[in-house]
Amino acid sequence: MKSDDVWMVEFFAPWCGHCKNLAPHWASAATQMKGKVKFGALDATVHSSTANRYGVRGYPTIKAFERGQEKEYDGGRTSSDIVQWVLNNYDVEKIPPPEIVQVVSPEVFAEHCEGHPICVVAILPDILDCQSECRNGYIKLLTKMGENFKKMKWGWIWAEAMAQPKLETALGIGGFGYPAMAAVNSKKLKYSLLTRAFSETGIKEFLRDLSYGKGSTAPLSKLPEIKKTEPWDGKDGQVGFNL
């Protein structure tokens, strides 16, 4: 319990059918995470006092431990589910956070969207509707979400409202107002639209569902055309007048 290592512990009963089904997946996950996470299994019928100590009421029960902190496992029962849950919940791989990039050209879109398993696309309000402090607040939120989900190795891009109209049209963005968000799978030509609030909680729930392969998706007929635009200079917007 005092170890700096992450321990995944399965509490099982020998007669439990679900435990028997889990066994090969548990062993596979342990092999995949070797050197990063420690896996163990405890016969709760033999070590009943320990199982009771941790509130085990059914089998199998899976719990994670790190530095004395206990966390209930709430993921799926395949090896990939288990591995993904660990990666989502613990920093077992030293991965730098992704860059949040303004999409200003087809080349940027290709590198930061097409080159990743999923690309998170944020459309932020026009600078006249949301000045630099407001926009930087949204970018800070995206940066935090990128840090939280960095193990997924997704791409992260943003554009100003109406700067990339074909991108917005393809993703069904615009009618819901700004800011808006969608996630794109370039290889499968599918996307998923954020329908929750554009907030830390709403985005986190949306991305968590994506990380588990959940959530509704819609097809893309093709990848949207990206036009070249000028990058944001970091300043407030100015209203121009013709004299």
Q: H/E/C letters for each residue in the chain?
A: CCCCCCEEEEEECCCCHHHHHHHHHHHHHHHHCCCCCEEEEEECCCCHHHHHHCCCCCCCEEEEEECCEEEECCCCCCHHHHHHHHHHHCCCCCCCCCCEEECCCHHHHHHHHHCCCCEEEEEECCCCCCCHHHHHHHHHHHHHHHHHCHHHCCEEEEEECCCCHHHHHHCCCCCCCCCEEEEEECCCCEEEECCCCCCHHHHHHHHHHHHCCCCCCEECCCCCCCCCCCCCCCCCCCCCCCC
Which residues does 239 contact at the CB level (< 8 Å), separation at least 6? 128
pLDDT band at residue 151 using 50, 70 and 90 as cut-offs: confident
Q: Mind listing the pLDDT tens digit for each residue in 162-198?
A: 999 999 999 999 766 899 999 999 999 999 999 999 9
Q: Are 215 and 209 in contact (CB under 8 A)?
A: yes
More confident residue, 3 or 136: 136
pTM, full prediction: 0.64
Give residue 140's pLDDT: 96
pLDDT band at residue 92 using 50, 70 and 90 as cut-offs: confident
Domains 7-89 and 100-219 belong to one CATH topology: yes
More confident residue, 3 or 237: 237
Give residue 223's pLDDT: 92
What is the chain's mean pLDDT, rounded? 91
Q: Are 44 and 51 in contact (CB under 8 A)?
A: yes
Distances (CA, A) of 180 to 65, 83, 216: 37, 30, 16
Q: Hey, what are 9's tokens?
A: 């512990």
Q: What is the mean pLDDT of residues 71-87?
A: 92
**Surface-to-core class of residue 57, CB atoms within 10 Å of its CB (0-12 exposed, 13-18 middle, 19+ buried):** exposed
Q: Which fold has domain 100-219?
A: Glutaredoxin (3.40.30)
Give residue 128's pLDDT: 94
Distances (CA, A) of 56 to 164, 170, 235: 52, 48, 56
pLDDT band at residue 124 using 50, 70 and 90 as cut-offs: very high
Give residue 176's pLDDT: 64
Q: How far apart are CA 116 and CA 195, in angstroms?
A: 23
Query: Would you kindly state where each structural domain of the chain is located, as residue ranges?
Result: 7-89, 100-219
Give residue 3's pLDDT: 60
Q: Hey, what are 27's tokens?
A: 């062993």
Give residue 11's pLDDT: 96
CATH architecture of 7-89: 3-Layer(aba) Sandwich (3.40)
pLDDT band at residue 243 using 50, 70 and 90 as cut-offs: very low
Using only the alpha carbons of the chain, give its radius of gyration.
Answer: 22
Give residue 242's pLDDT: 47
More confident residue, 137 or 211: 137
Q: How far apart are CA 185 and CA 183, in angstroms?
A: 7
% pLDDT > 90, the chain = 74
Give residue 109's pLDDT: 95
